[in-house]
Amino acid sequence: MLLGGIADDLTGAVEFAGMLAAGGMRVALVLDDAPIPHGQDAVVVALPSRVAPVGDAVAAFGRAADALLGAGAERLFFKYCATFDSTPAGNIGPCADLLMDRVGADFTLFAPSFPEAERRVFMGHLFVGSQLVSNSPKRFDPLTPMTEPDLVKVLAPQTSRRVGLLPLPVILRGAEAVARHVAALRAEGISYAIADAGEEEDLATLARASWDWRLATGGSNLASHYPAIWREKGLLAPADAMPPLGAGGHGVVLAGSCADRTREQVDCFGARHPVMRVDLARMEAPEAALREAVEWALPKLEGGPVCVTTAGDPQAVSAAQARFGRDGAARAAEGLLGGLAKALVDAGARRILVAGGESSGAVIRSLGIARLSVAPYVSPGIGLCAAEAPVPLALCLKSGKLGPVDMFATVLEGMRA
pLDDT at 417: 66
Residues 146 and 141: their CA atoms lie apart, in Å, by 7
User: Looking at the domain assignment, is residue 302 inside a domain?
Assistant: yes
Q: Are residue 218 and residue 300 in the same domain, yes or no?
A: no
Last residue of a domain, one of 171, 202, 232: 232
> Counting beta carbons within 10 angstroms of the beta carbon of residue 119, is it exposed (0 to 12), middle (13 to 18) or buried (19 or more)?
buried
User: Looking at the domain assignment, is residue 244 inside a domain?
Assistant: no
Q: Are residue 72 and residue 153 in the same domain, yes or no?
A: yes
Q: Are residue 83 and residue 120 in the same domain, yes or no?
A: yes
User: Looking at the domain assignment, is residue 239 inside a domain?
Assistant: no
Q: Are residue 40 and residue 127 in the same domain, yes or no?
A: yes
Q: Are residue 167 and residue 98 in the same domain, yes or no?
A: yes
User: Looking at the domain assignment, is residue 120 inside a domain?
Assistant: yes
What is the domain extent for residue 150? 3-232
pLDDT at 243: 66
Q: Are residue 182 and residue 149 in the same domain, yes or no?
A: yes
User: Looking at the domain assignment, is residue 90 inside a domain?
Assistant: yes
Number of domains in the chain: 2
Q: Are residue 126 and residue 163 in the same domain, yes or no?
A: yes
pLDDT at 241: 66
Q: Are residue 196 and residue 339 in the same domain, yes or no?
A: no
Whichever domain contains 320, its CATH number is 3.40.980.20
pLDDT at 397: 92
Q: Are residue 14 and residue 82 in the same domain, yes or no?
A: yes
Q: Are residue 146 and residue 279 in the same domain, yes or no?
A: no
Last residue of a domain, one of 232, 261, 287: 232
Q: Are residue 259 and residue 223 in the same domain, yes or no?
A: no
User: Looking at the domain assignment, is residue 162 inside a domain?
Assistant: yes
Last residue of a domain, one of 232, 262, 297: 232
Residues 275 and 353: their CA atoms lie apart, in Å, by 14
Tens digits of pLDDT across the chain (417 residues): 999 999 998 889 999 999 999 999 999 999 999 999 999 999 999 998 998 999 999 999 999 999 999 999 999 999 999 999 988 888 999 999 999 999 999 999 999 999 999 999 999 999 999 999 999 988 888 778 899 999 999 999 999 999 999 999 999 999 999 999 999 999 999 999 999 999 999 999 999 999 999 999 999 999 999 999 999 999 998 776 666 677 888 999 999 888 889 999 999 999 999 999 988 878 877 888 899 999 999 999 999 999 999 887 777 778 878 877 877 878 888 888 999 999 999 999 999 999 988 889 889 999 999 999 899 998 887 889 999 878 899 999 998 888 899 999 999 999 886
User: Looking at the domain assignment, is residue 410 inside a domain?
Assistant: yes
Q: Are residue 216 and residue 275 in the same domain, yes or no?
A: no
Whichever domain contains 124, its CATH number is 3.40.50.10840
Cα–Cα separations (whole angstroms), residue 50 to 60, 108, 183, 324: 11, 20, 31, 20
User: Looking at the domain assignment, is residue 133 inside a domain?
Assistant: yes
Cα(first)–Cα(last) distance of the chain, in Å? 31
pTM of the model: 0.86
pLDDT at 167: 98
